[in-house]
Chains A and B, each alone.
Chain A
Amino acid sequence: MDPFQQSSLLMTRRHFFGLNAAGLGTAALAFLLGKDLLAEETSPQQPPIKPAEGGLPELPHFAPKAKRVIWLFQSGGPSQMELFDYKPRLAELRGSDLPDSIRKGQRLTGMTASQDRFPVVSSIYKFAQHGHCGAWVSELMPYTAKVVDELSLIKSMHTEAINHDPAITFFQTGAQIAGRPSIGAWLAYGLGSENKDLPAFVVMITQGGGDQPLYDRLWGSGFLPSKYQGVKFRSVGDPVLFLSNPPGFDSALRRQYLDALGQLDHIKLQEFGDPEIATRIAQYEMAFRMQSSVPELTDLSKEPEHVFKLYGEDAKKPGTFAANCLLARRLAERGVRFIQLFHRGWDQHGKLPRDIAKQAKATDQASAALIQDLKARGMLEDTLVVWGGEFGRTVYCQGRLTEDDYGRDHHPRCFTMWLAGGGIKPGIVHGATDDYSYNITKDPVHVHDLQATVLHCLGIDHTRLTFKYQGRHFRLTDVSGNVVSKVLA
């Protein structure tokens, strides 16, 4: 027999189960629908790449609660003990050594592993209970405290990575090692865009530096086609790269130019019949529309004064976290699927009391304002807002512990995040940690669990959003992840 025929008849165990997992259960249904499911399953081809507004035909898998996500990424690792994870017993334990029964032989980072002592340090900032839910929030977050009844506070987040680069890559792509698509790219690929004049995935970064760098791959498309990568909206120069016409070349001229270009491309299309040419003509037209729609979108001057009062005066300064929060709301209004803000500077190895206060001040009001603003516009019900960093910080002091100063190292075993809006149960605290905020005592939530939950809110079964690459069906949550149903509305 011809070897190729032979190979096509070969069916391995893996093949058989691969077919059956998706196949047998739905075979009857497929038969009823007259759909050749088996043929589809055995086809080795990727689904064809769709136009910009695209998305996969089988998505969403079920009715979504949220249509879009705004993710306020707090890069550097905010200390849970100074912000949300209230630990009153730490005050009396202050200065005592971290017990081995708590540390359990955990391997620490190179930054503190060689310390002689690991003295426990309590938060210098006070906590109080807020809202009907009675959640404890630190005095550093007075505005967030006012919206706790809208939030699902998850105190039991944990991750696998202990350093920034792998930890943030893990959050963004589901793997610590570079090369996988980011969550926004997955969503752009799976769900497409609600607005054909804007990208499905937009990234904004607070300007003014920070203690840790960010990387293109955090919003990259990995092995997915590059059009799904995050588009950075910048606060200096063009908001989108190469958006402006060159100096001395005006918009009227661009219109004439595009008319001629379109006609010439159209002649080519008629002759050659390649649909890519039609797509290209459409993309040039979209580029032209973006030249007016993006500046209109990023121009905050027409926002009324009460909005700036809500988000804070900072919102008038381009490139601040507050301005980006306001822009995020404007992007959400226009149907951008996944909006991600990055705010750096949470990496307080030393001088934590001073620096964390600055960080909180730069982010607290605008984060809370975004929740209130979305709610007032009736958009909170279908917009999922996520707040958090890549890991937490240690209960023990890094460096010298003094009366009013201390530092904290990276801590992957527990940290706090919050979710709000579309699909999320408001006003709850999920999970708990021990008296040292070192280990989780209740309802642990792994990074893959959180990713699965975010996808669930968008109507996606995280195990079924896959892309075949190098012979494997990859997914954001790799081979794990459970939807955290307790935080769902």
Chain B
Amino acid sequence: MFFGVGLVKTVEDFGFQGERPVHPELLDWLATEFMQKGWDVKGIVKTMVMSATYRQSSKVTPELLERDPENRFLARGPRFRLPAEVLRDQALAVAGLLVERIGGPSVKPYQPPGLWEEVSFGDTYQPDEGESLYRRSLYTYWKRTVAPPSMITFDATDRETCTVRLTRTNTPLQALNLMNDITYVEAARVLGQRMMKEGGPTPEERIVYVFRVATGRPPRPQEGKLLLDTLHRFLDKYRSDPSGALQFVREGQSPRDETLDPSELASYTSLASLILNLDETITKE
């Protein structure tokens, strides 16, 4: 969860066929520390995330990359794409859609129609309405024979067998998912609304706002300018295509703020979607 890979990579196998630890002394120390502090999980987690190793920058030089492509020696900070559940939760959270209530039965968020029907005995998937669409992915209803596609696409385990080590892939299907899945289109639209209502009066301020919300830092001048130019392109397009704009901002069940101009909202939605698709947004570093 923290470093992306353990001190022993083969976490499913600590036996003789497994990998030996890359830093045996560190592993030893962490183990005894954990014992001596009374098996305090929160404490050992704190020790790890406050360590100088964890707080290093994720930047990498070509030389270092060549010597240690997988960062096993931890000479740099971790950098990896967020897990499936976290990705969706993050998009909902930055949009302000996420329902943080704990507990309760599983929910059925959006899913393309027909997925269950084409392989099952005739079960149909009926997405829920209202807040059930925006609960943490942990609560997503899981039919093992037809798993939720956006989870599987982002390497969630298929839950057929116990999986302790997740793989992490980088595919075009993931790009399509993040750009076009209604979950993310709606999150972008609601985030676009936030930009317009909470981000300040000028486009520049709104861009800084959304960038900070999604990445935790303000954009650099070069990035800010690029985003501003892009926003203007989107605005040009949607001002000349108001019906397309209206179609685009109607996606998703959550109420749209009808006081906002659809062409403007469509442009901010597009920009918010772009921000949600940035490598930096979907990557932990």
Please indicate whether A and B come from the same complex rather than being unrelated chains: yes
Chain A nearest CB: distance from B240 CB in Å? 11
Interface residues of B in 186-226 (CB under 8 A from A): 220, 222-223, 226
Given the complex, which residues of A lie within 8 Å of B241, measured CB to CB? 248
Given the complex, which residues of B lie within 8 Å of A277, measured CB to CB? 279
Q: How many residues of A contact B (CB 8 A)?
A: 78
The answer on a CB contact under 8 Å between A280 and B246 is no
The answer on a CB contact under 8 Å between A242 and B112 is yes
B113 interface residue per 8 A CB criterion: yes
B182 interface residue per 8 A CB criterion: yes
Q: Mark A268-289, 1 if CB is under 8 A from B, else 0.
A: 1101111111011101101100
Chain B nearest CB: distance from A204 CB in Å? 10
Given the complex, which residues of A lie within 8 Å of B182, measured CB to CB? 246
Given the complex, which residues of A lie within 8 Å of B33, measured CB to CB? none
B181 interface residue per 8 A CB criterion: yes
B175: contacting residue among A8, A253, A256, A287, CB under 8 A:
A287
Q: Mark A197-233, 1 if CB is under 8 A from B, else 0.
A: 0010000010101000111110010011111010100
Given the complex, which residues of B lie within 8 Å of A268, measured CB to CB? 278-280
Given the complex, which residues of B lie within 8 Å of A299, measured CB to CB? none
A253: contacting residue among B158, B173, B234, B250, CB under 8 A:
B234
The answer on a CB contact under 8 Å between B227 and A260 is yes
Additional pairs, 10, CB under 8 Å, beyond known A15-B16, A209-B117, A217-B160: A4-B21, A179-B161, A249-B270, A260-B229, A261-B278, A264-B274, A269-B279, A273-B59, A274-B60, A472-B17
Q: How many residues of B contact A (CB 8 A)?
A: 90
Q: Mark A313-340, 1 if CB is under 8 A from B, else 0.
A: 0000000000000000000000000000
B256 interface residue per 8 A CB criterion: no
B10 interface residue per 8 A CB criterion: yes
Q: Which 10 A-B pairs have the closest CB atoms?
A: A471-B17, A248-B248, A248-B247, A179-B161, A287-B175, A227-B169, A178-B160, A225-B167, A44-B19, A287-B172
Chain B nearest CB: distance from A139 CB in Å? 32
The answer on a CB contact under 8 Å between A242 and B179 is yes
Chain A nearest CB: distance from B143 CB in Å? 9
Question: Given A213-B120, A237-B112, do A272 and B79 touch, yes or no (CB 8 Å)?
Answer: yes
A-B contacts, 26 of them at CB < 8 A, read A44-B9, A45-B19, A48-B70, A207-B118, A215-B144, A225-B167, A227-B170, A237-B112, A241-B149, A244-B180, A248-B245, A250-B244, A257-B270, A260-B229, A264-B227, A264-B278, A265-B278, A268-B279, A269-B279, A274-B60, A283-B170, A283-B174, A287-B175, A469-B12, A471-B13, A471-B17
Q: Which residue of B lies closest to A15 (CB)?
A: B16
Given the complex, which residues of A lie within 8 Å of B120, measured CB to CB? 213
Given the complex, which residues of B lie within 8 Å of A248, measured CB to CB? 241, 243-250, 266
What separation, in Å, do the CA atoms of A234 and B250 have in the docked complex? Answer: 26
A273: contacting residue among B65, B118, B181, B270, CB under 8 A:
B65
User: B residues within 8 Å of A by Cβ?
Assistant: 9-10, 12-13, 15-21, 24, 58-62, 65, 69-70, 79-81, 112-114, 117-122, 144-147, 149, 152-153, 155, 158, 160-161, 163, 167-177, 179-182, 185, 220, 222-223, 226-227, 229-230, 233-234, 237, 241, 243-251, 266, 270, 273-274, 277-280, 283, 285
A243 interface residue per 8 A CB criterion: yes
A271: contacting residue among B59, B121, B245, CB under 8 A:
B59
A240 interface residue per 8 A CB criterion: yes
Question: Given A225-B169, A237-B112, A241-B173, do A261 and B17 touch, yes or no (CB 8 Å)?
Answer: no
Q: Which residue of A lies closest to B149 (CB)?
A: A241
The answer on a CB contact under 8 Å between B16 and A471 is yes
